[in-house]
Amino acid sequence: MSSEPHNSPCFTPAGAGEYSFHERGQLIRLAHQAIEAALSGVELDLTPPTEHLAQRRGAFTTLHLDRQLRGCVGYVIDSYALWRTVAETAVAAAFYDTRFYPVTAEEARRLEIEISVLSPARPIEPEEVEVGRHGLIVSHCGQRGLLLPQVPIEHGWNRELFLAQTCLKAGLPMDAWLNGAYLEAFTAEVFSEAEPGAVAP
């Protein structure tokens, strides 16, 4: 899998996990700073502040404006330090998500940031997929699609529909998961400044 950004719908659940409230706050502030730096033409220092945030992790950064999706881009694999990944995907979501026009300076001040830190992907059988826990990657004949774990919950999909919709995301027939497509699963730790208590002040 390449480290090129991928678009995906995003949604905001809460929950504690590997990253402390302080680290979550650092990452969310970084995403805002990266967008502001890009608007100002300033180069941001992407040296991770801790060894934990220097670990290589895949992640998606999601932008919301007035409670509406405003951009979502991520790196599926762990090519870079999480610190760099969050900064780069925040900029990509703000300015290079082809579903939206680039974020303006006025909008940047009102954005709400959500970050999904991904676990490494592993092969999985269709019957092992757990809705709300697993994100999916479907690959076949050079085509690939990804949906985050939050997506089927947001849309009320069962496991079979989740599998089918991930196939559609890859540009494959809805039943490709039954006909030779390669399935991988991952989990995601998701946090957002929009959730009370999700990020320490």
Write down the pTM of the prediction.
0.78
pLDDT digits (tens, 9 = 90+) for 44-65: 999 999 999 999 999 999 999 9
Mean pLDDT (the chain, rounded): 88
Q: What pLDDT score was predicted for residue 194?
A: 66
Q: CA gyration radius for the chain?
A: 16
Does residue 165 have a pLDDT over 90? yes
Q: What pLDDT score was predicted for residue 13?
A: 41
- The mean per-residue pLDDT over the stretch 70-96 comes to 94
Contact (CB, 8 A) for 71 and 104? no
Does residue 181 have a pLDDT over 80? yes
Distance CA 75, CA 4 (A): 6
Does residue 157 have a pLDDT over 70? yes
Q: What pLDDT score was predicted for residue 195?
A: 62
Q: What pLDDT score was predicted for residue 85?
A: 97
Does residue 73 have a pLDDT over 90? yes
- The mean per-residue pLDDT over the stretch 6-18 comes to 50
- The mean per-residue pLDDT over the stretch 37-44 comes to 95
Distance CA 113, CA 90 (A): 9
Q: What pLDDT score was predicted for residue 7?
A: 47
Structure tokens given for 145: 């699609």
Distance CA 24, CA 98 (A): 27
- In order of their start, the domains of the chain are 6-119+188-192 (3.30.700.20), 122-186 (3.30.1490.150)
Q: What pLDDT score was predicted for residue 178?
A: 95
pLDDT digits (tens, 9 = 90+) for 15-37: 458 899 999 999 999 999 999 99
User: What percent of the chain shows pLDDT beyond 70?
Assistant: 88
- Assign 3-class secondary structure to the chain: CCCCCEECCCCCCCCCCCCCHHHHHHHHHHHHHHHHHHHHCCCCCCCCCCHHHHCECEEEEEEEECCEEEEEEEECCCCCEHHHHHHHHHHHHHHCCCCCCCCCHHHHCCCEEEEEEECCCEECCHHHCCCCCCEEEEEECCEEEEECCHHHHHHCCCHHHHHHHHHHHCCCCCCHHHCCCEEEEECEEEEECCCCCCCCC
Q: What pLDDT score was predicted for residue 15?
A: 47
